[in-house]
Amino acid sequence: MSDVITGEAAAGSAGASTAAAPDGNGLGTTAPAAQPMSGSAGIAGGVSAAAGTSSAASELGRVAAAVAPAPEVVLETRDVNVFYGDNHALHNTSLAFHKGEITALIGPSGCGKSTFLRSLNLMNREIRGCRVEGEILYGGRNVNTREENLYELRRSIGMVFQQPNPFHKTIYENIVFAPKRHGLRGKDNLDALVEESLRGAALWDEVKDKLHQSAFSLSGGQQQRLCIARTLAMHPDVILFDEPCSALDPISTLAIEELMHSVVRDRAIVIVTHNMEQASRVSNRTAFFYMGDMVEYGETDQIFQRPRDKRLNDYLTGMFS
Ligand SMILES: Nc1ncnc2c1ncn2[C@@H]1O[C@H](COP(=O)(O)OP(=O)(O)OP(=O)(O)O)[C@@H](O)[C@H]1O
């Protein structure tokens, strides 16, 4: 479910989306399931566990790991509920997203993954009859208020959609469109941003000689990387990916996954995917949704290798899809 946002709905989304389109680990290894705000509890546990080890070196190593600073929380939700009219689609969801980490949202169709993802940059606001309750903390500040400047927010929390959606413009213009609207001027600055963004999206070498051709002259996978470059041009702190590879072939899919790893260092990434192999390949942490509930959350290895909840286990073993 990802095609509900069109036109101005995505305005300003870090330039990622239709952006007012002119046309057209380190922690929580012992954290229990459903305890999304992992952090100091895991650290305390690690230190006390280290006290009983015999080898001084390994003890030191454990203590060092245990006291390593927790990754910075960039974005966090507290008790988020989403309603479409009378349909209470998402229940009391609290999750934290960390700098330098990719979090995968998985679960059967209709369980609320995209609904939750869209709430993170208030994209659900664009859906008539949709109501989002609870706190969405960006940089520690609740942005789920009527006063929030959506245009600015979506510059910091960008979104990449299932279908590549470049503007009907040149490759170059796709990158600079939103930054220009945000005031960036000067050919040198714009040229530098185009190169930096396309390099960031691993597309520069393929398009550097045809920057002024239509974005639609690119393949589907290239278009998706262009959309990612467009997002990167706004230097977002968070990028939301809604099934970004479902329309792509396996090679383009791998290219996008590599790209995510290369750009996550300075930001948090959240990805909705139906592809369990992709989720286990690409993410540090995974949250499993079922019928509007966030049922289990943990490090991706634990979720896939040692699921605790029976519904998650059944889902992973193909009992339902
Ligand atoms: N635009 C909308 N208007 C009304 N109801 C919606 C809308 N989008 C989603 N819903 C409802 O919210 C619930 C969760 O849907 P959502 O698309 O978030 O699930 P999902 O897990 O992302 O599904 P899928 O994997 O099929 O994309 C469903 O009951 C769905 O019908």
Cα of 201 vs centre of ligand 1, distance in Å, is: 29
Q: pLDDT tens, 106-160?
A: 999 999 999 999 999 999 999 999 999 999 999 989 999 999 999 899 999 999 9
The secondary structure of 72-97 as a DSSP string is: PEEEEEEEEEEEETTEEEEEEEEEEE
pLDDT attached to residue 49: 34
Angle between the N-to-C axes of helices 56-67 and 40-50, in degrees from 0 to 180, rounded to the nearest 10: 170
Q: What integer best gives the mean pLDDT of the chain?
A: 83
User: What pLDDT shows up at residue 18?
Assistant: 36
Architecture of domain 72-316 in this structure? 3-Layer(aba) Sandwich (3.40)
What pLDDT is stored for residue 53 in this prediction?
A: 43
- Going by alpha carbons, the residue nearest to atom 7 of ligand 1 is 84
pLDDT of residue 60: 55
Which atom of ligand 1 is least distant from the CA of 118?
18
Per the CB < 8 A criterion, the answer to whether 120 and 302 are in contact is no
- Other C-beta atoms closer than 10 Å to the C-beta of 321 total 7
Ligand 1 pocket test, candidate residues 84, 123, 293, most atoms within 8 A of CB: 84
pLDDT higher than threshold 60 for residue 100: yes
**Confidence class of residue 247 from pLDDT cuts 50, 70 and 90?**
confident
Residue 87's region, left for phi above 0, alpha for psi from -120 to 50, else beta, is: beta
Please give the share of the chain, as a percent, with pLDDT higher than 90: 71
Cβ 246 under 6 angstroms from ligand 1: no
pLDDT interval class at 319 (50, 70, 90):
confident
- In short, whether 83's Cβ falls inside 6 Å of ligand 1 is no
321 lines ligand 1 (CB under 6 A): no
Residue 296 pLDDT > 70: yes
Pocket flag, ligand 1, residue 4 (CB < 6 Å): yes
- Per-residue burial over 80-110, b = 16 or more CB atoms within 10 Å of its CB, e = otherwise: bbbbeeeeebbeebbbbbbbbbbbbbbbbee
CA of 1 relative to ligand 1 center, distance in Å: 6
Predicted TM-score (pTM) of the model is 0.81
Decide if pLDDT at 301 tops 80: yes
